[in-house]
Structure 1
Amino acid sequence: MRHLIFLIHLLFFFTTFAQSGYQLSSKKTTLTFSKNKNGYSLSFFLKKTPIYSQEKPAIIAVITKDGHRKIYKKAYNEVKNENDKGYICQAEIETMGGAVFKITDVFTKSKNDDIYEVSRIVKVIHEGTNEIGFSSCFTLKTFQESAISDFDFFVPSIWYKDNRYVSKKALASNMTDSLFWFREDRMPLPIFMLRNKKDGTTFSIFHKNADGSTFAGEDGTKTIVDDRMQFAALGMTHYKQTSVGLWYPGTEGERTGIFGMTLKKKTANRFHPLQKKITQKYTVAFSLTSTSDFPSALQTTWQKYYTLEKPKLYAVDLEKVVNGQIGILNHYWKEINNTAGFPFRIKLNGVLESKFDYNYNMGFVGQQTGNAAMLIRQGFKLKDTVLRNKGEKVIKFWVENAIMPSGIPRTWFDPYPQTWRENYPTHLRVLGDGMHGIMLAYSYEKKNGIAKPKWLRACEKVANWLQSVQNEDGSFYQQYNFNTGKIVSDSKNNTSNVIPFLADLYLATHRHSYLKIALKAGDFIYEDTHKKYKYAGGVADNPNIMDKESASMALRAFLALYDIDKNKKWLDAAKQAAFYYQTWVFSWDVPIPKNDKNAIFPYFRNVTGLSQIATGNNAADVYAAIDAFNFYRLYLYTNDAQLLYFAKMLYRNTKQYINWDAKNPIPNMAKNFMGEAVTVVVPRGHGVTYFLPWESYTMLAPLFLLQDTFHSVSYDVEEVEKLNKTLKDSLHDKYAKTGGLN
């Protein structure tokens, strides 16, 4: 019976499609405006097959004084073809309380062939009795009945495929829910996409030219009615069919991350005042295509809307950024009883709260060896022996003290009272970062004619230990007890973390045993990370959930392997990781309220370049700056112009949280300091009140790599791009073959 009903509906739609004079078309899709007994409805066709429709496109929700919410829906009563202006569609809705709304939708085709746009204006014509607020919605509904399991989803930093690798508290973690609406201020771009797994049909929406503003105090799950809220929520409602669209302003539910993620269902309702002076205006871009698989659906969807948004590049003096970060490392470097290093954290005003803030984490959130390498590099460049000696003392400490007889390194040391943290096992992420830092320091010495054989032997000792514990499938376990060598965590999610170090070591020694370990690990992550689309467990302090840094680790690993053997599968895997990675980086400006005294991120800077940390998490940080050089290299390998622009954004926009500009300083922050974790979603701009020196390494390393690889006089990609292509490719190829060692 259901099949027969579908055929009848299909015949009706084909007849409508053939007869309708109201339609917008691209090469493969058509949007029709069809008249029925209720007025005009919408239908969206792909290759003449109806995929999405909306019988009543005008949708208003009203909230009463006693908190009752009611939704009203209506078809368009009028459709006009205004030629160059597109189709103008109008509807009026009257509520039970007597309020009257006029909805005007203007549909046009974007310059991009497969993007349509609807610009909506909602006016309050009459106010109602006992009705205090309203919101409006634009959605399209699947033509056929469907289950959530029929689709793979993409919502930046929230939902990837079926979200099987997120925590139980994360948004979109429970597929038995019916309402999946997410505030756009938690999205790096306001996108919602779903792809039918059976036929590849891919539908997406995007809030174009989003304002996104709100006010200090707009927080919590209590219903708020206020016209200062100019942000939307994107998502879907699923019952027998799936309705995908946008609510304005943005109500988040039936789960919300406001006040933190929980297992409990809760909704944060947001409305505009139901007053005649209030007018809503917003534009929704939407697209219907067919894609071969989920990774290609995500890539094409992200790139088309990123190009449509095209975030403005931040004007920053990168020379000042470099000098400022080196200055911080130089100033706070300290030698304590023959153990040299940098503090773990410093108050944003530049004050050290306690001597115990001097504790040394080798990599990850400590980056002791990475920062030491930065001082060594700059010491050679400036002929500054003080900088160089400080960096060398840090590396000397780790090389001579951290590595156990077995070859496993200890990774966290307290100079007060001169002890290793016995309760902090050796985590593969910390090991990978720390050993890469030593190799980087070694390479700077070698390029300047200085031999450091002890440093290299220390790296070989660790690599030999890795070889001894590598699993048959090529993986490594996540954590090991450095005293006993026993496994502390048997997760294999961090296997990628040591591949760049092993590749560096192979290029330095030409010992094929190290390449063999790296390739074997690469084969494992190709199957386990790339093919499964499992970017999870990238960080040591929030392991085994889908996040951003796992993509960062995968990108570096696959690039390192491609540099060595030029196997196309590594480049394909690097590209996939890079496009997933991009979707975590804010590429539209979510404004910070001006009047919030508790905000740390400055309202006069732009959040583009900040990046969400993980699913099930409200915080963002500056981490993505570390991979600016890798994105630029990927552009050179692929010639994808969007990757070039994104690399420029990482080189520039990630510096907006740094207090580098004396003419436009960030209040209550020491010169050249920067904030760490911060919330872009409400409470906007609130965050950690410490500067962590890992951030210095994150900023400096890609700038030095760019300048050194291309012999540039500046740290700017724009200058490198002025080189002729032959020279640029030659210098890049040299870097790939040597790892920058020569």
Structure 2
Amino acid sequence: MIGNFFLQGERAPGVHQDCYDRKRRIWGGYLGISEHDDFRNLINARCNGEVMASYISLYEILKNAGHTRAQFIELPKRVARFYIKHQFTGRQDGSFGRWWSPEGRAVNSLGTNGAYIVSFLCAIEPYMVPGDGVAQALQRATRYYGQLVDSGEYFGDTLDADSCDKEAGVTLMNMFLDLYERDGNTRWLDYARKAAEFIATWIWQYDREFPESAPLAGKDFSTTGMTSVSVAHHHLDFYGMLIAYGYLRLWEHSGEPFFKDQGRLMLDACRQLIATEDDLLGRGPDDIGWQPEQINHTDWDYFDRTSHKHGSYDIDIAWVTVLGLGAYQKIEKRYPDIFSD
């Protein structure tokens, strides 16, 4: 049902928008709160990379169950051809950009959003033909995104801020891990390690004490293993579940115990503050399982609400469950022993 619905987001062959406003009945590239309103109606490389990778997974799962849905693989193939055709040349040779117009014109090329296209191309490559140019596009992309790692340009990955953020490091780490698992080139493993070391600077290694009056004070909440978000948004979140999966992959390939230990730290931290029957976290019984997006540990709140600072939690948004549960399932499948060590 979900897969069928979002097929409608294709504005033109290979040009896909994944946000839908049910009240206004319009499609958009990012209809949430954004740094610039212009982004609302554009196409985003990160969104395209993540959505198309999900379509590939959906196609494969259904096929393995005896159900072939060709449209779930044909859409990603068209999107792949779009990005290969429009891959940057010149000074930014190899980049897949960031924001695109529905007509296919590059609007903004800064940051790391294009790295999601690299991971997507690694996944779609077996379904493409040699003439589609996937291998050549990936070769050019490794040079561009490798330069970002070498120069420490980790910024502009989140959709709601233009700043240095941990997610830029995460996508570059995952991208180079995907490339390493594609061809075994140890250069990609070195780049993945560098990005992972940047991410490590965002991981909390100690517990912060909260005021007794704060909502988190009575939750026995541990900040150890949590991760800060960005220079623009001064809160903690549960993105660490996805990072943990990447760290475990890096540990698997490098044998470095640091990444296993930090991965487990984040895995444990991100299983906190999930609503149960005994503690609904301020919601009703229909909200069992919800987990807040933002842990406000400083004098900062997304909407600058005084009541939501220094030990508060808030915002129920789908990505937390989707990303967290999805990454948890990947860890459980690939590293089942990590839960019993």
**How many correspondences in the alignment?**
315
Match in the other structure for 2:21? 414
Residue 676 of structure 1 is aligned with which of 283, 289, 293?
A: 293
Aligned letter for 1:398?
Answer: F
Deviations 1:418-452 (A, max 9, x none): 22238421121222222122122223223333322
Match of residue 652 from structure 1: 268
CA shift, 1:396, in A, is 1.1
What is the SS of the residue equivalent to 1:488? strand
Name structure 2 gaps, 5 residues minimum: 30-39, 300-308
- Could you tell me whether the CA contact under 8 Å between 2:207 and 2:223 is conserved in 1? yes
Q: Secondary structure at the match of 1:655?
A: coil
2:155 corresponds to: 536
> What is aligned with 1:718?
339
Deviation of 1:539 (Å) = 0.9
Alpha carbons of 1:427 and 1:681: their partners in 2 closer, same or farther (altered >3 Å)?
Answer: same
- Counterpart code for 2:189: L
The Cα of 1:470 is off from its aligned counterpart by: 0.2
Match of 1:548 among 162, 166, 173: 166
Given that residues 496 and 525 in structure 1 are in contact (C-alpha distance below 8 angstroms), is that contact kept between their aligned partners in structure 2?
yes
Match of 1:621 among 227, 237, 241: 237
State the alpha-carbon separation in 2 of the partners of residues 573 and 655 from structure 1. 29
| Structure 1 runs not aligned, ≥5 long | 1-392, 722-742
Residue from 130, 136, 151 that aligns with 1:516: 136
Shift of 1:686: 2.5
Aligned residue type for 1:477: G
Equivalent residue letter for 1:572: D
Amino acid at match of 1:519: Q
**Partner residue in 2 for 1:486:** 105
Q: What is the alpha-carbon distance in structure 2 between the residues aligned to residue 581 and residue 635 of structure 1?
A: 15
Residues 1:634 and 2:250 are matched in the alignment: yes
- What is the TM-score with the length of structure 2 in the denominator? 0.85
Q: CA deviation at 1:699?
A: 1.5
Assess if the C-alpha contact under 8 Å between 1:607 and 1:656 holds in 2.
no
Q: CA deviation at 1:509?
A: 4.4
Please say if 1:579 is aligned against 2:200. no
SS of corresponding position for 1:592: coil
More helix by share: 2
Tell me if 1:686 matches 2:294. Answer: no
Retained in 2: the 8 A contact 1:632–1:643?
A: yes
Does structure 1 retain, via aligned residues, the 8 Å contact 2:96–2:117? no
The CA deviation at 1:649 is 1.7
Q: Which amino acid aligns with 1:419?
A: I
Q: Is the 8 A contact 2:165 2:231 kept in 1?
A: yes
2:334 alignment partner in structure 1:
709
Aligned partner (choices 187, 198, 201) of residue 569 of structure 1 = 187
Q: Does the Cα contact within 8 Å between 2:225 and 2:269 map onto a contact in 1? A: yes
Q: 1:430 to 1:602 in 2, by over 3 A?
A: farther
Equivalences for residues 223-262 of structure 1 within 5 A: none
The residue aligned with 1:698 is 323
Partner AA of 1:718 in structure 2 = F
Q: Is the Cα–Cα contact under 8 Å of residues 475 and 492 in structure 1 kept in the other structure?
A: no
Q: Which residue does the alignment assign to 2:207?
A: 589
Aligned to 1:161: none
- In the aligned structure 2, how far is the partner of 1:549 from the partner of 1:677? 15
SS of aligned partner of 2:72:
helix
User: Secondary structure of 1:413's partner?
Assistant: strand
Matching residue's letter, 2:206: W
Distance 1:587 1:447, change over 3 A: farther
- Aligned mates of 1:616, 1:402 — CA distance in 2: 30
1:568 alignment partner AA: T
**Separation (CA, whole Å) in 1 of partners of 2:58 and 2:266:** 24
8 Å Cα contact 1:594-1:603 kept in structure 2: no
Q: Is the 8 A contact 2:165 2:230 kept in 1?
A: yes
**Partner residue, 1:231:** none
Q: Aligned letter for 1:439?
A: I
> For 1:180-199, what aligned pairs fall within 5 Å after superposition?
none
451 and 718 in structure 1: CA distance in 2 versus 1, 3 angstrom threshold: same
Query: Which has a greater percent of strand?
Result: 1
* Cα deviation 1:387-423 (Å, max 9, x = unaligned): xxxxxx1111112x11133311122211224222384
* CA deviation map 1:149-168 (0-9, x unaligned): xxxxxxxxxxxxxxxxxxxx
Offset at 1:502? 0.8
Q: In the TM superposition, what is the alpha-carbon distance from 1:655 to its structure 2 partner?
A: 1.5
Letter in 1 for 2:312: H
Q: Is the contact made by 1:608 and 1:654 (CA closer than 8 Å) also made in structure 2?
A: no
> Contact 1:429/1:539 (CA < 8 Å) preserved in 2?
no
Separation in structure 2 between the aligned mates of residue 492 and residue 707 of structure 1, nearest angstrom: 31
SS of 2:15's equivalent?
A: coil
Using the alignment, how far apart are the partners of 2:321 and 2:185 within structure 1?
34
Q: Equivalent residue of 1:678, what SS?
A: strand
Residue 492 of structure 1, CA deviation? 5.2
CA-to-partner distance for each residue in 1:513-567, whole Å, 9 max, x for gaps? 223323321221001x111011111111112x21110011101110011111111
Which of structures 1 and 2 has the bigger CA Rg?
A: 1
Contact 1:495 1:521 (C-alpha < 8 Å) held by counterparts: no
SS of the equivalent of 2:211 reads coil
Alignment match, 1:498: 117
Across the aligned residues of Structure 1 and Structure 2, the Cα RMSD in angstroms comes to 2.2
- CA separation in 1, counterparts of 2:62 and 2:217? 38
1:526 aligned onto 2:146: yes
Asked whether the 8 Å contact 1:412–1:424 carries over to 2, the reply is: no
> Do the aligned partners of residues 588 and 492 (structure 1) sit closer, same or farther apart at CA in structure 2, a change above 3 Å counting?
closer
8 Å CA contact retained: 1:554, 1:574: yes
Normalised by the size of structure 1, how large is the TM-score? Answer: 0.40
Q: Give secondary structure in 1 for the equivalent of 2:20.
A: strand
